[in-house]
C-alpha cells in the first residue's frame, strides 16, 4: 500500500477518534479540525485540487470557527464531561460502531467495485466544473444559493436574543 496514503489516513482516523472521545471540548474541536485537514489531503491525493482547497476554506476556516463560537457562547468550553461518563453507554456505543464497521467492511470487500484501478489521466478541470454548474446543474445551483441565503438569515434570526419580544401573552390569558 502507499505510504503517503497510510500516513494521511491513519492520522485522520486517529484524530477523529480523539475528537470523539476527548474530555476537554476545545481539544475535541481542534482534533476535529485536524481531521478535516486530513480529509482535504485525501482529496488532494485523489487529484481534485479545487475540492480539497474548498474543503479547507469551508470546514477549517468557517465551520470550525462556528463550532468554537457555539462552544464558547454556551459556556461548554470550561466544563469537563467527566461527571457524565457512564461506562455502559461507551460499551454499547463501541459495540454498535464496531458492528456497523464490520458490516460495511464486509460488503465493501465482497463487492466487485472495489477491484477498480485508477484511470491514469483523470484530472479535475475547474473549467469543466464551472461549465457543468452553469449548464447542466444550473437549477441546483440556484436552489443552493436560495438555501444558503435562507440559512444565513434564519441562523441569525434564531440566534438573536429574544429580548425585544413584547410580553403580550400574559395580559391576554388573564
The grid cell for 101 is 464497521
Residue 168: CB minimum distance to another protein, A: 19
- Would you count residue 43 as binding another protein (CB under 8 A)? yes
- In the list 87, 162, 164, 167, the residue contacting another protein (rule: CB under 8 A) is 162
Residue 88 C-beta: closest distance to another protein, Å? 11
In the complex, what is the shortest distance from the CB of residue 6 to another protein, in angstroms, rounded to a whole number?
A: 8
Binding flag, residue 146, another protein (CB under 8 A) = no
138 binds another protein (CB under 8 A): no
How many Å separate Cα 86 from the centre of its chain? 26
Taking Cα atoms as reference points, which of 13, 41, 44, 18 lies closest to residue 29?
A: 18
Looking at the Cβ atoms of 162 and 168, the one nearer to another protein is 162
Shortest separation between residue 95's beta carbon and another protein, angstroms: 10
Q: How far apart are CA 85 and CA 64, in angstroms?
A: 25
Per CB under 8 A, 41 contacts another protein = no
Q: Give the separation between CA 134 and CA 126, rounded to whole angstroms.
A: 12
Nearest to 19 by CA among 6, 4, 36, 5: 36
Amino acid at each position: 500500500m502507499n505510504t503517503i496514503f497510510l500516513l494521511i489516513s491513519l492520522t485522520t482516523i486517529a484524530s477523529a477518534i480523539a475528537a470523539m472521545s476527548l474530555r476537554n471540548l476545545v481539544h475535541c474541536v481542534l482534533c476535529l479540525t485536524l481531521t478535516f485537514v486530513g480529509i482535504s489531503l485525501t482529496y488532494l491525493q485523489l487529484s481534485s485540487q479545487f475540492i480539497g482547497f474548498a474543503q479547507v476554506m469551508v470546514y477549517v476556516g468557517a465551520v470550525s470557527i462556528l463550532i468554537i463560537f457555539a462552544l464558547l457562547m454556551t459556556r461548554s468550553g470550561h466544563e469537563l464531561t467527566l461527571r457524565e461518563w457512564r461506562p455502559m453507554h461507551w460499551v454499547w456505543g463501541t459495540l454498535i460502531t464496531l458492528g456497523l464497521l464490520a458490516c460495511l467492511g464486509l460488503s465493501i470487500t465482497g463487492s466487485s467495485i472495489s477491484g477498480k484501478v485508477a484511470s491514469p489521466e483523470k484530472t479535475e478541470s475547474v473549467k469543466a466544473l464551472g461549465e457543468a454548474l452553469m449548464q447542466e446543474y444550473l437549477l441546483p445551483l440556484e436552489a443552493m444559493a436560495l438555501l444558503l441565503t435562507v440559512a444565513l438569515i434564519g441562523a441569525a434570526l434564531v440566534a438573536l436574543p429574544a429580548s425585544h419580544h413584547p410580553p403580550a401573552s400574559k395580559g391576554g390569558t388573564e
